[in-house]
Amino acid sequence: MKTGYFIINPHSGQQIIQSKLKEIIGQLILDQFINRAECVYTKKDRTIDDVVDLKKIRKFDFIVAVGGDGTINQVVDYIARHDIEVPLVILGAGTVNDFASFVKIPRTPGKIVKMIEDFHTIKSDIGKINDSHFINVVAGGMFADVSYVTSTSDKKILGPLSYTINAITNLQDHLSRLIPLKVKVDSQEFTVDARLFLIANSKHIGGFNRMVPYASIQDGKLDLQILKNCNAVELVQFTTELLLGNHVNTPKVEYYQGSCIEISSDVNDVFVDIDGEKGPQLPIKIEALKQKLTIIVPKE
């Protein structure tokens, strides 16, 4: 029998998955798949290094991360920093859960149990930004801060709609800002004025399942997508094309792939979002770490 180490954010989202954990763990025990499950809980005033026992976690057969995109990011960063080779189960319990959606993680206890018991693993790329890691996206510019400036209460009540409301409310402020970027993708260098830029590992960003259509989590590359200068009408046109999956073919979008991406700006206060959490200011250097992470996913 196996052992599972559960890292849980008890406050993510509407606590739907968290409320089902006893049922999930109980069924794994009844099925004699595991004989030990240990649960630790994240806290706002403590880092993941404070709550996770490094020596202990290495001895478990699998790790389960339960939380939103930010919690998943913290667990992935911890695993990468300490070169932990234990397979990871991702249970998205946040507002959007982009990466969990991309790898088709189930939402019901029975299907989650089956996925874990099947123990089907794949190798996934992750990204390294400066001295930390991410699993899904780094973003800057227009709407990039919406996940962490939207209040927790709004997220719990309205779910993903809270992000849309926040973005519309602050649209004029976003349209008033244009960021001059200096970009290097592998050996290619260029400058561009951007409203928004994304460096993505998966296709799913901000609840859109085709935001970065050519992204793959197993190709050893990251995808850079830049929305150039546009007005309100052009932004609406971009959004329409985005819903249709055609936005990368519009003249306002530039798209690149590379294993190393560097971005800087003459503007001093450009912060980036990392998997839904506030990250550092520019400049940033981002590298793709090919198939660095082992994750448990449903069998196709």
Active site residues: 277
- Report how far apart, in Å, the C-alpha atoms of 222 and of each of 82, 202, 242, 295 are: 22, 9, 19, 18
How far is Cα 18 from Cα 25, in angstroms, rounded to an integer? 11
How far is Cα 90 from Cα 97, in angstroms, rounded to an integer? 10
Do residues 101 and 136 make contact, with C-beta atoms less than 8 angstroms apart? no
How far is Cα 200 from Cα 196, in angstroms, rounded to an integer? 13
- Report how far apart, in Å, the C-alpha atoms of 111 and of each of 104, 118, 180, 181 are: 11, 10, 47, 45
Do residues 72 and 65 make contact, with C-beta atoms less than 8 angstroms apart? yes
Non-local CB neighbours of 145 within 8 Å, separated by 6+ positions:
271, 273, 278
DSSP 3-state percent helix, strand, coil across the chain (nearest 5): 30, 35, 35
How far is Cα 52 from Cα 228, in angstroms, rounded to an integer? 42
Tokens 């990392």 found at: 274
Phi, psi of 92 (to 5 degrees): -70, 120
How buried is 40 (Cβ within 10 angstroms: 0-12 exposed, 13-18 middle, 19+ buried)?
Answer: middle
